[in-house]
């Protein structure tokens, strides 16, 4: 197979209102809530960078200007750190800053769904394959989820979705894929079903919020009718694209935390804190004692 066009750009839909985290999200975008000591969005951007992404496209909405400020130089803060010889902190901030010209921001003026948010990035992405990373979903594994997808894409081309196992009894809550022949570290997708009725799911593998898509999706989304929730759904667009292009799945083996939900956000904080050698010794004992006291 000929070498595939490199995945250079990633789209981050960050226009959501975060109503499940009210009242906190009255003042702080949900993507800027911190897991341990980094905003949720930073974990997702780090995953994209690990996979070789060169251009980060943020689809924002009203009240999300702080995200753009976060990915910019803060002169006053850096000057203060220099004056206080906080060199470790300066190095940390420099490592998180995208290179000049590699971060773009576009606005989704009306919240018309994930498909519409992706379509809003069309002119920045252009005519090349691209990744989409849902910012609510942060992941933990030795090999980043998107990195595994990019490796699989180099073998398959086309479109690649990350999938993960769920309890079969919960499959009706997710977008589920059908399993075809094996290819590389993944398999070909035979069907995609959004929230199948109980007992009808083709597998227990759900789409976990990571996508590699061909640019033809934009033309489909441009004229797509509204679906569930009266919104333009990305899944509907992918189903239409699947009529002419192949989809493959990368089975992600790590842990995924839905930081758009309170339980997932709390679990992410606990999991990432326990991975930190500078934090775990101080919290492991008190956590066990707290759990024991609640029995």
Low-confidence ranges of the chain (pLDDT < 50): 1-2
Angle at which helix 280-293 crosses helix 262-274, to 10 degrees, equals 130
Q: Which domain holds residue 170?
A: 9-293
Place of tokens 């010209």: 101
Angle at which helix 40-50 crosses helix 145-156, to 10 degrees, equals 30
148 part of a folded domain = yes
Instruction: Quote the pLDDT of residue 3.
Output: 63
Q: Any idea what the Cα angle at residue 46 is, between residues 270 and 129, rounded to 5°?
A: 130
Instruction: Quote the pLDDT of residue 115.
Output: 92
The DSSP bridge pattern shows strands 186-194 and 175-183 to be antiparallel
1 part of a folded domain = no
User: CA-CA distance, 8 to 121, in Å (whole number)?
Assistant: 14
The enclosing domain of 195 has a CATH number of 3.90.550.10
154 part of a folded domain = yes
pTM: 0.92
The 3-class SS string of 262-277 reads HHHHHHHHHHHHHCCC
> Phi and psi at residue 188, in whole multiples of 5°?
-80, 140
202 part of a folded domain = yes
Instruction: Quote the pLDDT of residue 248.
Output: 95
The DSSP bridge pattern shows strands 55-60 and 103-107 to be parallel
Instruction: Quote the pLDDT of residue 33.
Output: 94
Q: Report the number of distinct structural domains present in the chain.
A: 1
3 part of a folded domain = no
86 part of a folded domain = yes
Instruction: Quote the pLDDT of residue 1.
Output: 47
Number of Cβ within 10 Å of residue 273's Cβ equals 18
146 part of a folded domain = yes
The 3-class SS string of the chain reads CCCCCCCCEEEEECCCCCHHHCCHHHCCCHHHCEECCEEHHHHHHHHHHHCCCCEEEEEECCCCHHHHHHCCCCHHHHHHHHHCCCHHHHHHHHHHCCCCCCEEEEECCCCCCHHHHHHCCHHHHCCCCEEEECCCEEEECCCCHHHHHHHHHHHHCCEEEEEEECCHHHHHHCEEEEEEEEECCEEEEEEEEECCCCCCCCCCEEEEEEEEECCHHHHHHHHCCCCHHHCCCHHHHHHHHCCCCCEEEEECCCEEEECCCHHHHHHHHHHHHHCCCCCHHHHHHHHHHHHHHCC
**Which whole-number Å values give the CA distances from 46 to 68, 80, 230, in the listed order?**
16, 26, 33
261 part of a folded domain = yes
């Amino acid at each position: 197979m000929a070498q595939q066009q490199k995945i250079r750009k990633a789209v981050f839909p960050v226009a959501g209102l975060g109503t499940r985290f009210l009242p906190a999200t009255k003042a702080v975008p949900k993507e800027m809530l911190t897991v341990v000591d980094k905003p949720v969005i930073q974990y997702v951007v780090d995953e994209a960078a690990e996979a070789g992404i060169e251009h980060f496209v943020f689809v924002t909405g009203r009240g999300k200007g702080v995200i753009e400020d976060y990915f910019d130089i803060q002169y006053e803060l850096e000057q203060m750190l220099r004056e206080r010889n906080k060199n470790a902190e300066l190095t940390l901030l420099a490592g998180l800053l995208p290179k000049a010209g590699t971060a773009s921001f576009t606005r989704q003026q009306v919240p018309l769904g994930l498909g519409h948010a992706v379509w809003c990035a069309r002119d920045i992405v252009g005519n090349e394959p691209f990744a989409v990373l849902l910012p609510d979903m942060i992941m933990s594994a030795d090999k980043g989820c998107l990195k595994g997808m990019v490796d699989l894409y180099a073998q398959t081309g086309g479109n690649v979705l990350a999938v993960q196992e769920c309890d079969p009894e919960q499959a009706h809550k997710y977008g589920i894929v059908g399993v075809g022949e094996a290819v590389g570290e993944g398999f070909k997708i035979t069907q995609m079903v959004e929230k199948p009725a109980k007992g009808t799911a083709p597998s227990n593998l759900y789409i976990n919020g990571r996508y590699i898509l061909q640019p033809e999706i934009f033309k489909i989304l441009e004229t797509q009718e509204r679906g569930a929730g009266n919104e333009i759904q990305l899944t509907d667009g992918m189903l239409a694209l699947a009529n002419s292009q192949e989809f493959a799945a990368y089975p992600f083996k790590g842990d995924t935390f839905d930081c758009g939900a309170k339980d997932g956000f709390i679990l992410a904080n606990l999991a990432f804190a326990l991975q930190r050698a500078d934090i775990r010794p101080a919290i492991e004992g008190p956590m066990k004692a707290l759990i024991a006291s609640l029995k």
